[in-house]
Amino acid sequence: MEMSTFVKFFSQKRGDVRKQRQAIEEAMKAGATTVSIISEKTGLAKDLIVWNLVGMLKWGNVEVTGERDKELVYSLKEAS
State pLDDT tens for residues 45-56.
999 999 999 999
pLDDT higher than threshold 80 for residue 70? yes
pLDDT band at 61 (very low <50, low <70, confident <90, very high): very high
pTM of the model: 0.87
Domains of the chain (ranges plus CATH)? 13-76 (1.10.10.10)
What value does the mean pLDDT of the chain take?
Answer: 91
At 2, the pLDDT band (50, 70, 90 cuts) reads low
Residue 70's CB is within 10 A of a number of other CB atoms, namely 6
Q: For residues 20 and 44, what is the distance between their CA atoms, to the nearest angstrom?
A: 8
- Looking at the DSSP assignment, which residues form a beta bridge with residue 77? none
